[in-house]
Structures are given as structure tokens and as C-alpha cells.
Amino acid sequence: MKSKSNHTKSFMIYEELVEKIQNGTYQPNTKLPTEHEFMQQYEVARGTIREALQMLYQNGYIQKIQGKGSVVLDIRRKYNFPITELVSFKQIAKAMGGTSRTILQELSLIKPDAFIQTELNVSTAAEIWKVVRTREIDGEKIILDVDYFNKQYITFLTKEICEDSIYEYIENELQLSIGFAKKEILVEEPTEMDRTYLDLEGFPNVVVVKNHVYLEDITLFQYTESRHRPDKFRFVDFARRFANYSYPNM
Amino acid sequence: MKSKSNHTKSFMIYEELVEKIQNGTYQPNTKLPTEHEFMQQYEVARGTIREALQMLYQNGYIQKIQGKGSVVLDIRRKYNFPITELVSFKQIAKAMGGTSRTILQELSLIKPDAFIQTELNVSTAAEIWKVVRTREIDGEKIILDVDYFNKQYITFLTKEICEDSIYEYIENELQLSIGFAKKEILVEEPTEMDRTYLDLEGFPNVVVVKNHVYLEDITLFQYTESRHRPDKFRFVDFARRFANYSYPNM
DNA sequence: AATTATTTGTACGTATGTATG
DNA sequence: GCATACATACGTACAAATAAT
């Protein structure tokens, strides 16, 4: 999972601590070194350490307890699944282990119909890339991804890019920074497309994840529907009660 | 949505800005005042303003763009639904408007079976509150909530509390601070319980949200299954690509 | 039971870097 | 090149919660 360059001290410390939590250097339910110890270890100001710890906190790696210290959580380890982050299928497949394959069913430039005009907020004149891909895991076609990209921002696409990772291409080749996405999870009846491209095995509905994806400058460039066979669908989320807004500092 | 006291300057500023975004004082796709202007307006240090803005950013209210400013997003307004936060049904029902009702089907103290022992990480000796509630919206029973509370932490429950809001009771009466939760969304076949307590109308499966809820001191005190009729299920999530770890400051 | 030390939380101020216009 | 605005980092002080004396 790489993206734009982030060579700040706090981010590098964060990455190092994530690594040490994942490889067991810091064990679940034990305390991390104190902020003061980290200060000396990394020779940075306390605020810098607190930023790194805040990222760990925000992403569910640790719990910070005032007066006590930071405790390593094992939630990530227990559910080794991408938790509420924007990740591509390639990353998920890699994390899950099993054999996976992407089959490109369609790659075309289209004029947006009324639905796509609304979802991508474009006029009839716009040009849109339509990408249809089947995701096969352990020999079963269980996910159908239908993507629509605004050609104004994603100017060029090829079969090879779609079969690898479009996100990697967007961030590394096109040098665009993906900012955020709004996800919506629903259950729908299978469409004709679902029936042809998925191994539905008689399941009477599909779980649909609808995604609007924005760049960092707030331009909406992608609308995606990820259509899952219900028995294979799983979504894991980590939520804090108040995103306990204790922020680093100063 | 209230919880533990948070009277910090940055949090109060955050709340005030949320209010102003929601009531339209700050319009979507326009820029907020600069950090410098906020500094003068609130007579606080820049870091304090940046903390407040960071909370807005993290929760999808604004996008921060270096060199330009902070732009108000309309994602929250478009999907007026609790976005990836720990919220109780009472809050959701209130936000949705329509008529809603909670029916308490069962409230009992039980000894945990093998499944609950695993999910709540307790021994056979523990005592567990079991709460079964039906959620009715516009006259249809579409959600079945099955909660298990560790009596060690939630010592006392009544019919009235369960029919109102257990979360309010936990936070306001018991003065416990809820820390975080791990959610998992799956699709399952209806159980006998689902069939008796839900208006399933022939739907062959239910969407199940499994929830492990922890206090701020990391004690696991609740396991919940929220079982939804699939046609009425909807989950909205806001995700940042890298939770762009720019933190306030210093 | 009261005090002190430790550890995290909030807030202030300053300096410099980087992106935008 | 310059001004503006956000980003990162340093340092200091004190508050609040916890743990140890």
C-alpha cells in the first residue's frame, strides 16, 4: 500500500511502529514505550512522536490511556482484513493469501447515460471509461466490479492496466492523489450482468458496494459498483466512539 | 449525540464549526476562513484551530488543500446518515425522521454458552445480560438487535432502559466511556429468531452487523448482532485514502 | 489517606517548508 | 519573484489521570 511521497518524520516513525506491531516486536495488550522514551530514541520533539502515535490510534493499532500509556490492540491481527481504508482489490487479494485472478470483461469509452451523469456529475458531452472486471477467488467468480472513470482526469487506460491495478496506475503513473471516497453498502437483486459474469449459484441477491471516489482537490473522478455474491461478502470496520479528538501537539 | 465531557477549546470550536456547516453558514464548495482568521476570531493559537479543522477533516466535513484553504464538502449533507461512527439506534431513528419504535422481546441474565464465551472472552462462571429488541420503522419490523452485556461492567438493566437507549444509560448513568468498536458486516440465512421477530416477507437472508464494543480502558463489555431485512439495509462509510496524516500542531 | 512521580492531554509560541495564485 | 495559506517540526508550560510511595 503505497501512495504519494510522505517522508515526514512522524509518518516514517508511524510506519516503523506499524511494522514492529505487525512483526510482534510490540505484543498485543502490552504497553509501548512512553512518549519520552520515543523522543530520546528517535531524537525528535514530543509532538512528532505524538503525531505518529495518533496515526496508530486512529487506525486501531493502539489505545491511548491518559496517565498510563499506549496499549497495543490485537483487533487488527484478529481480523486480518483491510479495515475501512481505501484499498484496491490487488491489495485485498494479496492480504487474503488464496489464489485470485482478475478477468477483464469490458473496456470501452462511452457517453454517459442519465444514471452515470448523475453519479459522476457530468454532462452528456463527457467521455467516460467503462471497465467491467470479474474477480475470481479460488476458482469462483464472486465479485463483479463495474467502474466508470471520467476521461477528463483518467485520460488513458489499457487492458494491461485494468488487469493489474488501476489505482497503482493512477497514483504512480498519472501522479494523481486520491483523496477520499464515500462508500455505500446495499443489497440488490442480481442484474442480467451479475448473472452472466458471476457464479451466483442460485443466490437471489447480491451485496453492492457503491463507491464515489474523489481526488485530493475534490474532483469526483470515479464511480464504482462492486457487486458481491452474498455468501462471500465481508466488510470489517473499526469505529471510535468520538474519534476521541485528542490531537498531537504542539 | 453526547458523551463524556469535552470542554477543550479545540473541541468547542469544532462543534461550533459543525453547527455552522450544518445550518448553512458555511456553504458546500466554498472556503472556510483561513486558519489565521480563525485564530483572531477565537483568540487562540494556530495549533488549536488546526486541531478543530483536523476533526472536521477526519469526519468528512471539509477538505484541506495546502496553499489554498479548507473547502466545505457536501458529502455529509447528501447522505444524511450516520457515517462510520458508533451511534445508537435512537440517534439513527432521530436522524431519519420517520416513525420508529423499539419493542423489547427479551431481557434476561444468562450463563454464556460456548459462542458467547468466545465472543465476550469470558468463562462459564460469568453472568451476561441478554437483550433482544425489535426495531420497527414505519410499521415494519426490519431490525432485530441481539445484545450481550458483561454484567461485570453493566451491573444493572431494566425494561425502561432497554426501550430507551442503553448507550445513553451506560455513558450518562453508569459514567462509563465507550472507546471503540469492531464491526463486521455479513449476509446470513435467517434463524428461527429472525423469522419470528422480523417481517421478513420471504427474504431468504438477512444482513448481520456483528459488533464488539470496548470501553476506553480496552475492556470488552458488549457483543451485539444487528440483524437487518436486506431490502432495508444501508451502510454509509467515508474513507480517506491515507487518512492524510497531516496533524495539527505545534 | 495524602503526596509525589510518571505519563498522556491541551495550549501557547516560533521557525521554516511547501503548494497555490 | 512575491504574498498567502496550509504543513511540519521544535520547544515550553501546565493540566489531568494514573501509579507508586
Percent of chain B with pLDDT over 90: 66
Which range, of A157-171, B81-95, B209-223, averages the lowest pLDDT?
B81-95
How many other C-beta atoms lie within 10 A of the C-beta of residue A155?
A: 11
Considering CB atoms only, which of A205, A239, A247 is closest to B51?
Answer: A247
What predicted TM-score, i.e. pTM, was given to this entire model?
A: 0.87
Interior angle at CA B134, CA B159 and CA B79, nearest 5 = 115
Q: Which nucleotide is nearest to B7 (CA to C1')?
A: C10
SS (H, E, C) A115-181: HHHHHHCCCCCCCEEEEEEEEEECCEEEEEEEEEEECCCCCCCCHHHHHCCHHHHHHHHCCCCEEEE
Q: Which nucleotide is nearest to B37 (CA to C1')?
A: D5
| A242 Cβ under 8 Å from any chain B Cβ | yes
Across the range A24-53, mean pLDDT stands at 96
Residue A194 C-alpha cell reads as 451479475
B chain contacts of residue A240, beta-carbon cutoff 8 Å: 86, 179-180
How do residues A172-195 score in pLDDT, each as one tens digit? Answer: 888 888 899 988 899 999 999 999
Cis-peptide into A96, omega within 30 deg:
no
Percent of chain B with pLDDT over 70: 86
Considering CB atoms only, which of A4, A239, A248 is closest to B247?
Answer: A248
Considering CB atoms only, which of A59, A204, A239 is closest to B243?
Answer: A59
Which residue on chain B is closest to A45 by alpha carbon? B250
Give domain B78-236's CATH superfamily.
Answer: Chorismate lyase-like (3.40.1410.10)
Residue ranges of chain A assigned to CATH 3.40.1410.10: 78-236
Across the range A148-167, mean pLDDT stands at 92
Q: φ, ψ for residue B191 (rounded to 5)?
A: -85, 175
pLDDT of A33 higher than 50: yes
Q: Do B63 and A236 touch (CB under 8 A)?
A: no
Closest to A238 measured CA to CA, from B240, B85, B81: B85
pLDDT of A163 higher than 50: yes
Closest to B223 measured CA to CA, from B211, B215, B232, B234: B211
C-alpha to C-alpha distance for A238 and A80, rounded to whole angstroms: 12
A29 confidence band (pLDDT: 50, 70, 90): very high
Measured from Cα to the C1' atom, the residue closest to C8 is A66
Q: φ, ψ for residue B156 (rounded to 5)?
A: -145, 135
Q: Is A19 exposed, middle or buried (0-12, 13-18, 19+ CB in 10 A)?
A: exposed
How do residues B59-109 score in pLDDT, each as one tens digit? Answer: 899 999 999 999 999 887 776 655 555 555 666 666 666 788 899 999 999
Residue ranges of chain A assigned to CATH 1.10.10.10: 4-75
| A3 Cβ under 8 Å from any chain B Cβ | yes
How do residues A35-46 score in pLDDT, each as one tens digit? Answer: 999 999 999 999
Across the range A212-234, mean pLDDT stands at 92
C-alpha to C-alpha distance for A227 and A218, rounded to whole angstroms: 26
Q: Which fold has domain A4-75?
A: Arc Repressor Mutant, subunit A (1.10.10)
Grid coordinates 510490540 are at which residue?
A: A26
Which of 43-82 (A) contact B at CB < 8 A? 45, 47, 51, 54-55, 58-60, 63, 65, 71, 73, 75, 79
B chain contacts of residue A2, beta-carbon cutoff 8 Å: none
Q: Which nucleotides of D are covered by protein (CB under 7 A)?
A: 4-13, 16-19
Percent of chain A with pLDDT over 70: 87
Q: Which nucleotide is nearest to B47 (CA to C1')?
A: C11
Cα A11 to the chain's mean position, in Å? 18
A chain contacts of residue B51, beta-carbon cutoff 8 Å: 245, 247
Across the range A71-88, mean pLDDT stands at 69
How do residues B148-185 score in pLDDT, each as one tens digit? Answer: 999 999 999 999 999 888 888 888 888 888 899 988 88
Mutation test of the interface with chain B: which of A86, A236, A242, A246, choosing the one with the most B Cβ atoms within 10 A? A242
Interior angle at CA A47, CA B67 and CA A68, nearest 5 = 140
Q: What is the pLDDT of residue B74?
A: 87
Which range, of A37-51, A105-119, A225-239, B34-48, averages the lowest pLDDT?
A225-239
